[in-house]
Amino acid sequence: MGAAGDVDGGGSVRHALTSRGNIVTRRLGCVRAHRRWSAATGHTSGRRHGTAGRTPLLAPSEKSTGTGSSEFVVTFREGRGVPGWVERNKQSPVPGLWPYGLDLLSGAGLPVKSVEVPDLSGLGRRLAGAIGARRPRGGAGTTALAWDETSAVPMYSGIPAYHHFSGVIWATDAVAAGERSAALDLAARTLPRFDGLWVLSRPQAEKVQQWLGAGSPPVHFLRFGVDADFYAAAPYPDEPHVVSVGGDRDRDPATLFEALRLVLAARPGTRVTVQSGTDLPVPDGVTVVPRLPHVEVRDLLASATVTAIATRHNLHASGMTVGLESLSTGRPVVACATPGMDDYFGEDRARLVPPADPAAMADEILGLLGDPAGAAAMGEAGAAVVRERYTTGTMCADLASILTGR
């Protein structure tokens, strides 16, 4: 969530700011993003300082009918936007045209453009936290959205728009753990000014509302989705193969490795492949591979007969993405029953076990390995459910409803 350190929002810092300091702050978070927005949209505009309240959402009848000025600007962190995604696709195929498939908002009837916003520097975070985030002026009907809170603050400071929306993903666990940082503090000051927020796990919604307090914007549950065309359903393999992919901050390689050790003790010779960057000792019989391009992850998941995902307790449904990608290829999933995972992984297509319980995970993996027909049927059911409810297309349709109020 950024460099740790409390933000002094009191008079000592506030009185020390000069007009030059205000200009520096604006430039740190706004100027480059504003220029990129202007280049992407063809607009130029002045700026104004933060407003006392949010501009109401436009009614559906006031939105663009093809001749109006409504537009939706999707923001990504610097270096993680559409140009980099396109370049990666040239080197090795990636899912979707944009990260997270957000280009499909256009399929939901929204005129979308993309822009990258720079991260605020440490100085920028401190100054912005002391004086409050700046909201540049934009054309009526312009909506800016950020995938998560890490790009929401620079977006709000730097994108000229009247309406702002963002996802909240990582902050909920940091807040629940009692963490303090300049980035969290600045997000807590900025997000209440947005028109709406979304989360990818239902339990996150209550935590976000508690964090931001009374008067916070509506918090919506948005079902995540994957590119079901990229992760196409494949015939179920004959050779037993347990696969685990991923290494975000809430993965639990210790539990995973112990579960796999138990599986191999019961079924020696079973093929086991783990994609991870962990430095923990690897059990005998387990092959660990480094970070892989998307196309190789897809092929690895398609070679599995069961996918195992071990995670620590968290609120943002860690492991959800690779779990849905695995289901999309037609493979059953064994994952940890952390809050929100049951929104994605029902009993017809997955087995959820308590976190930090390697014996329970091993039992479910062994059960699926011992019943190939049943495992294949679960995978088939999972592939069908993904295509019905959890694609990037269905996610963008739901997101469009959040953005427009329809």
Confidence at residue 58, expressed as pLDDT on a 0 to 100 scale: 30
Confidence at residue 247, expressed as pLDDT on a 0 to 100 scale: 87
| DSSP structural state of residue 5 | -
The rounded radius of gyration (Å) of the Cα atoms in the chain is: 23
Query: How crowded is residue 392: how many other Cβ atoms within 10 Å of its Cβ?
Result: 26
Retrieve residue 70's tokens.
Answer: 């409504």
> Over the chain (406 residues), what is each successive 10-residue block's mean pLDDT?
30 26 36 50 40 33 34 92 95 96 94 88 53 52 91 88 92 94 92 96 96 94 98 97 94 98 98 96 97 96 98 97 98 97 94 98 98 97 97 97 89
Query: How crowded is residue 16: how many other Cβ atoms within 10 Å of its Cβ?
Result: 10
Homologous superfamily of 241-389 in CATH?
Glycogen Phosphorylase B; (3.40.50.2000)
DSSP of 246-284, one letter per residue? ---TTB-HHHHHHHHHHHHHHSTT-EEEEE----SPPPT
Using a 10 angstrom Cβ sphere, with 0-12 exposed, 13-18 middle and 19 or more buried, the burial of residue 303 is middle
pLDDT in tens, 379-397: 999 999 999 999 999 999 9
Confidence at residue 138, expressed as pLDDT on a 0 to 100 scale: 53
Domain boundaries, the chain: 11-224+393-404, 241-389
State whether residue 25 is helix, strand or coil.
helix
Confidence at residue 7, expressed as pLDDT on a 0 to 100 scale: 25
Confidence at residue 363, expressed as pLDDT on a 0 to 100 scale: 98
**Angstrom distance (rounded) from CA 154 to CA 149:** 9
Confidence at residue 36, expressed as pLDDT on a 0 to 100 scale: 52
State whether residue 215 is helix, strand or coil.
coil
Confidence at residue 38, expressed as pLDDT on a 0 to 100 scale: 52
**Which residues are registered as beta bridge partners of 362?**
none
Query: How crowded is residue 9: how many other Cβ atoms within 10 Å of its Cβ?
Result: 16
Q: What percent of the chain has pLDDT over 90?
A: 69
Retrieve residue 3's tokens.
Answer: 């460099």
